[in-house]
Amino acid sequence: KLQTEEVEVFSTPSYACQRRTTLDNHNAVLTDALSLLAENAELSGEDGRGVAFRRAAAALKALPLPVTRLTQLGGVPCLGGHSLRVIKDVLESGASPEVEALRRSERFKALKVLTGIFGVGVKTAGRWIGEGILTLRQLRDSGPTLNRAQRAGLRHYDDLNRPVGRAEAAAVAAVVEAAAGSVLPGARVTLIGGFRRGKQTGHDVDFLITHPEEGREAGLMPKLVSWLDSQGFLLYQKTNSNSYLEAAEGPARPASNMDRFERCFSVFKLPEEAGRGGAGAGGEGGPRPWRAVRVDLVVSPVSQFAFALLGWTGSKLFERELRRWAGHEMNMCLSSHALYDHRQSRYLRASSEEEIFAHLGLEYIPPSERNA
Ligand code: GTP
Ligand code: MN
Ligand code: MN
């Protein structure tokens, strides 16, 4: 090249929890390609490779401008040889042959369709593909035994694969607040997950529920679920009681029997209101009066609330990186319940997310900047 141009060289810290990642992604073309490879690795049971591609994509999401040349990436962490090759292809020719081939691959398409059924994981989808089941039609026709979650997932497939909007999330929030207020006055409902990070759409709506008086939240989930069910809001639910208990010796000890932190995976029957886009995926005879929406509910005692809030706000990679930072850099163990300091052999208390970041020696990153 004859001309010399000034090109910005980027650099960014190596852990996603040290970076501010907004939804304003300047490198979506690159991160979409890497995310697709991550997704394929995860769908193929290769979690390590999946994480590597997720980390590479996340590093690019944090850059302030679009990347135009490979030479700008000298100070960007987490880019392995494979990721760099994909980035190079996209920068030079607008697309990566590997990624384009993957998009067209029958196996990848089938894995996406089948794991798109609520209740169907990677293993089940892989087994079905091995039996020649590649589409929903083939699944319905060949009739392998489906569990309760999978039957609900198949029945509401179109609704559950249609993104949930903010207005719908607000409508679900109103229902959950009514339920909580009715079964436990004073209960507090907080929107978590992607909507708390400012996303405009989500694959579900996530809530964390607590009560300002420690212990009052015990047994809340079954009451909440039965209220929702009696009002006709539930198409499906499965409640897991969580048996978290702090051990004086630290979190390496297996937790035992106290049911104090519960989770419910559910499918809501959400009435469609006029003006909230009730066009629906119905098809048979005009707009339907309701749609199915995936909703996750978590109940936490107020003493663990800050940890649960931090742990359930996401993104998934941000959470993973927080735990990796805690372990590798601080000799601490972070979970959605607590933070344990191995050097001091004690739990570190916190009543806000800010305090947890401070314990971890990290600058506070607000939810809207955790979109790694
Ligand atoms: P969309 O729903 O696709 O918009 O994205 P999201 O970020 O809300 O993802 P999701 O609802 O899957 O998860 C929300 C948060 O909950 C993420 O931070 C996950 O890491 C966290 N999460 C999901 N499942 C579990 C779990 O079983 N245990 C814990 N502790 N956290 C979980
Ligand atoms: Mn979510
Ligand atoms: Mn969720």
Cis bond before residue 315 (omega within 30° of 0): yes
Percent of the chain past pLDDT 70, that is, above it, reads 92
Beta strand 261-271 with 339-341 is: unpaired
What is the predicted pLDDT for the residue at 4?
62
pTM: 0.93
Which residue minimizes the CA distance to atom 31 of ligand 1? 312
Percent of the chain past pLDDT 90, that is, above it, reads 86
Over residues 252-264, the mean pLDDT reads 55
Catalytically active residues are 204, 206, 296
Residue 219 has pLDDT above 50, yes or no: yes
Q: Which of 2, 108, 22 is nearest to 372 (CA)?
A: 22
Task: Indicate whether residue 367 lines ligand 1 (CB < 6 A).
Answer: no
Task: Indicate whether residue 251 lines ligand 1 (CB < 6 A).
Answer: no
Pocket test for ligand 1, best of 39, 54, 206, 294 (most atoms within 8 A of CB): 206
**Cα distances (Å, whole numbers) of residue 245 to 140, 251, 260:** 43, 9, 8
Q: Which of 187, 297, 319 is nearest to 242 (CA)?
A: 297
Rounded to the nearest angstrom, the distance between the alpha carbon of 206 and the centre of ligand 3 is 5
Pocket test for ligand 1, best of 316, 318, 335 (most atoms within 8 A of CB): 316
Residue 277 has pLDDT above 70, yes or no: no
Report ipTM (2 d.p.).
0.97
Over residues 146-172, the mean pLDDT reads 97
Task: Indicate whether residue 315 lines ligand 1 (CB < 6 A).
Answer: yes
Rounded to the nearest angstrom, the distance between the alpha carbon of 155 and the centre of ligand 2 is 21
State which ligand 1 atom lies nearest to the alpha carbon of 335: 30
State which ligand 1 atom lies nearest to the alpha carbon of 314: 18
- The per-residue pLDDT for range 92-125, each reduced to its tens digit, is 999 999 999 999 999 999 999 999 999 999 999 9
Q: What integer best gives the mean pLDDT of the chain? A: 93
- The per-residue pLDDT for range 159-170, each reduced to its tens digit, is 999 999 999 999
Question: What tokens does 271 get?
Answer: 């009435």
Spatial separation of the C-alpha atoms in residues 157 and 149, rounded to whole Å:
12
Which residue minimizes the CA distance to atom 32 of ligand 1? 312
